[in-house]
Structure 1
Amino acid sequence: MSSDDLRQITLTRDSQGRYTARNRRGGSITTSSGTDELSPVELLLAGIAACTAVDVDTVTSRRAEPDSFEVVVTADKVKDEHGNHLQDINVSFRVRFPEGEAGDTAREMLPKLVKRSHDEWCTVSRTIELGTTVTATVD
């Protein structure tokens, strides 16, 4: 695997239950549990929303700048014989385009692009749906 294909996040502890994740480019986000900040589960849902939003927005905004653009992701957190996990993840696009030919074109494209993102492009949701091995080690 080339270094261009490798994705990496380094998580450091800021205080008990509060952490900062940083990428190799210097971007960061703080996460915690039991506070107003996004929890790790919410970050996963945000990752799904952002990944598919980028796919859809990139193409539709070439036709028309949206009047509003919102993606809502919901999921049920369950604990069963498989441990804690999410099920029934739902991604809902709430996008409005201006009146006119450009807006009509973007509106017409929207359902196809949402489907294509879900079926092919969004690495985050594709990884969840396809499943992959997660290995935890202690160095």
Structure 2
Amino acid sequence: MTDDSLRSVTIERTGTGHFTATNARGGTLSFGTGSGSDGDTDFTPVELLLAALGGCTAVDVDIATSRHAEPTRFSVAVTGNKISDELGNRMTDLAVTFSVAFADTEGAERARAILPRAVKTSHDRLCTVSRTVETGTPVTATVEDA
């Protein structure tokens, strides 16, 4: 692996059940248990996974289609079922659904035409998040200095 391929975030505890992830560029994202208590609206780790799945493909699709026309609507719904079975807690039936519209402007017909191919190409080849989930990449968890 090269330094160009490494991706990382650091996660710091900010309170009971609350955390902040920081990327290498200094961006932050708060998340937590999503308990709903005390007005807790933080994303849960599972919701972050869903956002990453949809967000990764959304970025690819937006780049491909907005070259031709600016969308008037661009939303992505990501769903899945959290289950617990003999394999432990996990998500099943993950689905990413795009709802995209373009005004009747120059390039809009081309943007509409390439939309399905852009979604498919992102899912099948480009989106690192969904490709990683689907190929089942192992995750190693360790304790430093243990």
TM-score by length of 1: 0.98
State how 1:1-139 maps to structure 2 within 5 Å.
1-33=1-33, 34=35, 35-139=40-144
Q: Counterparts of 1:52 and 1:15 in 2: how far apart (Å)?
A: 32
Question: 4+ runs of 1 displaced by more than 2 Å?
Answer: none
Q: Is the 8 A contact 2:81 2:91 kept in 1?
A: yes
The amino acid across from 1:15 in the alignment is G
The amino acid across from 1:92 in the alignment is T
Q: Counterparts of 2:63 and 2:86 in 1: how far apart (Å)?
A: 40
RMSD of Structure 2 on Structure 1 (CA) = 0.8
Gaps of 5+ in 2: none
Aligned positions, number: 139
TM-score by length of 2: 0.93
The amino acid across from 1:68 in the alignment is R
Instruction: Measure how far apart 1:4 and its partner are.
Output: 1.2
Q: Counterparts of 1:62 and 1:123 in 2: how far apart (Å)?
A: 22
Secondary structure, aligned partner of 2:49 = helix
Q: Counterparts of 2:60 and 2:99 in 1: how far apart (Å)?
A: 15
